[in-house]
Amino acid sequence: MRFGRAAAPKGTEPVRRNSLRGWRTRVLALGAAAFALPIAATAAYPAVTLAAPIHGPVLRAPAGGYEELMVPSAMGPVKVQVQWAKNGGTSAIYLLDGLRARDDRNAWSFETNAMQMFADDDVTLVMPVGGQSSWYADWVRASNTNGQKYTYKWETFLTSELPSFLEGYGVSRTNNAAVGLSMSAPAALRLAALHRDQFKHASAFSGPLNWGAPGMREAIRVMMMDAGRFNVDAMAAPWSSEWLRMDPYVFAPELRGVPLYISAASGLPGEYDNPNSAVGVFNTANAMGIEAISLVTTRSFQARLKKLGIPAVYDFPARGTHSWKYWEEQLGKARPHILSALHG
């Protein structure tokens, strides 16, 4: 199955094979660059109320309060931003970051209104910090193209070390949701598929959900080199069991019974795209290209789930690019489905 055809509506296939190949090459190149570009502007950052020591839990901030934790891991201490459940509820939503995840704060905390959105829902927001180009996976070795000093072990952190730490604060190990966008969309689905005892819902926004599509590994390689000079081969060897384990199209059968919310927009500029400079126009064009790729792979993944008889809630807006305000909007749409899965 050719990349670009799996989700294309009938009657839209180009006539000439060479034209298709040229189009696909251009879009993949554009999309790869866009995955690695920050799009949205920075908003105000909430004040820290209390910092926990890395050796273990202490009395947490008041219910509904904000806190930063330093959580021990095989990768070293990992910063985690937390907004505690308003009334002491035990469920949690893990909000995973994008390809250019920063080392100081998770973009959900300042690019979106996620914290305000769930402030009254008696659910803890868990926002891990860091993991640039990691795909939130357990890598086979440290990257040799940027002098990385340790091997990424993000899946182990999210499914073992972090929940064990949060359990000391009263957060459930078994009643959580995973939300991801772009790079972290496949990770959110993987966590729910392969760690059913921990995650009861997964939301995936604008993600590459079919890694076996022609050109995808090469596109991912370009993205990761651009975002931190990380080597994709250090994450997993081509088409190895580790690589296939990360491909949503492959692990799709394991999602049976998991409540899912999946979205991707058309790539056409919408209400949040108002470039007023050359840089803005360039970023918007990149965001258009990568969202178009996300839509193609998401439609392909939708067809895969349909064939397997696995239901999901889908949203495919007619307009929207690969940028944070659209993901904020999608989080709002996913919110009732997330809360139903956690509190139902």
Copy the structure tokens of residue 152.
Answer: 């990424």
Integer angstrom CA distances of residue 140 from 147, 174, 226, 231, 277: 15, 27, 20, 11, 42
Rounded distance between C-alpha atoms, residue 25 and residue 37, angstroms: 19
CB 277 within 8 A of CB 221: no
- Out of 134, 322, 329, 337, which one is annotated catalytic? 322
Between CA 212 and CA 246 the distance in angstroms is: 11
Asked about 291 being catalytic, the answer comes back as yes
The secondary structure of 140-167 as a DSSP string is: SS--TTTT-SS--BHHHIIIIIHHHHHH
Cα-based torsion angle of the residue sequence 55, 99, 238, 217 in order, rounded to the nearest 10 degrees: 170
Asked if 343 is an active-site residue, the reply is no
Q: Of the residues 91, 133, 134, 182, which is catalytic?
A: 182
Name which of 179, 175, 177 is nearest 187 in CA terms: 179
CB atoms within 10 A of CB 149: 8
Known catalytic residue: 182? Answer: yes
The active-site residue, picked from 291, 300, 323, 329, is 291
Q: Which residues contact 10 (CB under 8 A, 6 or more apart)?
A: none
Residues serving a catalytic function are 182, 291, 322
